[in-house]
Structure 1
Amino acid sequence: MKAISLFSSAGIGELFLKNIGIDIIASNELIKKRSDCYKFFYPETEVIQGDIRDDKVKREIIKKIDPSVKLLIATPPCQGLSTLGKNKLQNHLVLDPRNYLIYNTLEVIDAGNFDYILIENVARFLDMYFPYKSDLFDVNLLTLEDILNKKYGNSYNIEAKVLNAKDYGISQTRPRAIIKLFKKGLKWAWPEIEPEIPLKDSIGHLPSLESGEKSDILWHEAKEHNPRAVLALKHTPTGKSALKNELHYPKKENGERIKGFHNTFKRMSWDEPAHARTTYCGSISSHNNVHPGRKLNDGTYSDARVLTLLETFIVSSIPETIKFPDWANESFIRTVIGECVPPLMLQKILSKIGQ
């Protein structure tokens, strides 16, 4: 099945689609570095780099749609307004052009004749409200699901759910909003829920590493962290935050105690999947980023560090032997992983087309 991908980032989420017979013939990404990485992974795909709001870029994308292209994959930016804020400063929000980015996806849908459309984003995407113009003078605030039903409900079945990667063979808690559109008369089932995979089963076999240490295993190198944070986390048990320590707690250079949320400077638990790998997954002070660690003979805990790239790949269902362009540094790699849907999750969702 031929497909087009919009808002593609570096293409991490699409790594397994060829395994199920999906051929992305064209993709669109705004940022050049991400589109360059996409080209590295998929040299046969035509990558249209640029802003989809630019009419020239949009025309290039639409030119790639022919009758053989049956699938559209889109992760439009998640600007919009939350349910709590939908009545605040409404006039300003209606005038904010970022809240209309979703409609560029709808223009591509209108230009094609897709059998199947997948729209994916953060879980709260389903609760957001978007300005919808039914005519020039009438602007309403509607959820995306309501907008899709207004525009396409006569032609497409439209189903929306929040799925969590941990329920589909991935050792990571990562809820994602999934909206499926498929033509009346066609089938597209939801994937079956599977048992969770705790960290002890996914990365427990890998050797311990301390801050700045390297191993002989590809991608298994520990980031070097601030010594004050490392000391605090050496005295932090599995599943706990260093902010709760009475003596060894995170400190500023002047010795002042650092304050933060209960899930910052926090170790993960061996008996649970990893927490969501965000674009900040390389920061030891960010949310739920620290390796679970193991208690040592002296009473301290090992692995006072974030997950290595290898461990991050494993809990994100990315191949352990993956190669990136030579120019891609660790920060870039972590960022594009944080932006993507885990590739095994996307594969399982799309493999249900026709069932």
Structure 2
Amino acid sequence: MGKLNGISLFANVGIAEAYMEELDIEIKIANEIDEDRARFYQDVYKDTHMVCGDITDDNVRNSLVKEAIEKKVDFLIATPPCQGMSEAGLRLKYDSRNQLITYAIDVIKKVKPKFVLLENVPKQLTTRIKYGEEIILIPEYIKRELGDSYRFNKNTLVMAKDYGVPQLRERSIFLLVRKDLPYIWEFPEKQREITLYEAIGDLPSLDPKLREGLEFTLKKFPDYERKRKEGLEVSKWHYPPTHSWKQVEWMMHTPTGKSAIYNEVFYPQKVDGTPVKAHHNHYRRLKWDMPCRTITQNNGVISSLACVHPGRLYQNELGEDLYSDARVLTIYELLIVTSLPLDWPIPDWARETFIRKAIGEGIPSKLIKEIMTELIRQI
């Protein structure tokens, strides 16, 4: 069959596409509504035509369809926004973002690609959307619309950790093959899990940069500059994240795998000492002996869901037991646990918060690589 020509809808910054070229898959067209993400994508994938626009706009969608047909697109990947369904979101009953799948389906029906990959959070399987006068489950909607033309994979739930990605991240992925083709597309055989220690355990330790200023940082962490330079020798993206001293101090007293909310003294608290109300996974350090927990878009904030470095036990000059690396993962560490290429050309103009959010919303690159490899092996 030769090289596949693809189109990517809801493309984000192209995390899913990181290994496509390596597999001889050429993404001809991509669509993203956010201007900064579209610009990021175009900077990384210079040969792809990035269409920055709203897919719900008939003119934008029709232009995508026209170009996809002209460029003989035979593969479509769509990763609609998941915030309307995500466990970390508000999950409104009929969030308008949940309806975005319908526009992807419209493109599929008009372009008729040979292969389709639809990805979202597991909650997609039990989320209902409006379908004419009915309210039906998203999987039922997809199968009603495409079942006559496409075969579906049997199992749609997949864990990134089962495919060489050092991150748990469960996803719902529909793999579709047009019925006039003889291929059976299912998830490949599972691989050995990679622990966080195997993934990032050999990287230089970093002290956080404190919001109170460099002088205060050096007072609390005399080795800050030495460690910072050692980190930058590994990568320009392995630099100290910035946090407030109060949160750093709480995490310095928090053991690997534990949450600061259970500390007896150094627990998250307001100015008057009142404990901060938090989920049991907030202010939590990751564990060394298992894959990283699912990375969220708010991964740069200590108080977010399980995003603090595991740390290592040490004793200070007073003999207190403390834990190193009282910080979130660096961007370099995020590249590793998201299985992105370590030389992935992140544009210099992209701000840290923007990069973190984009990575937190992306599907791990190697998971997509392994799934696509299973298809390429057949064709």
TM-score normalised according to structure 2 size: 0.85
Q: For 1:170, which of 165, 172, 183 is the aligned residue?
A: 165
> Matched residue pairs, number?
340
Deviation string 1:43-99 (CA, Å, 9 cap, x unpaired) is: 1100000100111211210111227311010012347679xxxxxx98xx4xx7544
Q: Report the AA paired with residue 109 of structure 1.
A: I
The answer to whether residue 138 in structure 2 is matched with residue 147 in structure 1 is no
Identity of aligned residues (%): 40
Q: For 1:200, which of 197, 202, 210 is the aligned residue?
A: 197
Deviation at 1:278, TM superposition (A): 0.8
Q: Which residue matches 1:237? A: 255
Q: Which residue matches 2:177? A: 182
Deviation at 1:290, TM superposition (A): 0.8
Deviation at 1:351, TM superposition (A): 1.4
Q: Is 1:12–1:343's contact at 8 Å kept on the other side of the alignment?
A: yes
CA pair 286-192 structure 1, distance change in 2 beyond 3 A: same
SS in 1 for 2:250: helix
Q: Is 2:119–2:173's contact at 8 Å kept on the other side of the alignment?
A: yes
Q: For 2:291, which of 254, 261, 273 is the aligned residue?
A: 273
Q: For 1:51, which of 43, 50, 54 is the aligned residue?
A: 54
Q: Which residue matches 1:86? A: none
Q: Is 1:234–1:301's contact at 8 Å kept on the other side of the alignment?
A: yes
Q: Is 1:80–1:129's contact at 8 Å kept on the other side of the alignment?
A: no
SS in 1 for 2:190: coil
Deviation at 1:258, TM superposition (A): 1.7
Q: Is 1:173–1:274's contact at 8 Å kept on the other side of the alignment?
A: yes
CA pair 66-173 structure 1, distance change in 2 beyond 3 A: same
- Partners of 1:56 and 1:350 in 2: how far apart? 31
Q: Which residue matches 1:120? A: 119
SS in 2 for 1:104: helix
Q: Which residue matches 1:249? A: 267
The runs of 5 or more residues in structure 1 that have no matched partner are: 83-88, 134-138
CA pair 131-116 structure 1, distance change in 2 beyond 3 A: same
Q: Which residue matches 2:77? A: 73
Q: Which residue matches 1:132? A: 131
Q: Which residue matches 2:103? A: 104
CA pair 74-236 structure 1, distance change in 2 beyond 3 A: same
Q: Which residue matches 1:291? A: 309
- Partners of 2:280 and 2:83 in 1: how far apart? 27
CA pair 319-250 structure 1, distance change in 2 beyond 3 A: same
State the superposition RMSD in angstroms: 1.9
- Partners of 1:166 and 1:80 in 2: how far apart? 24
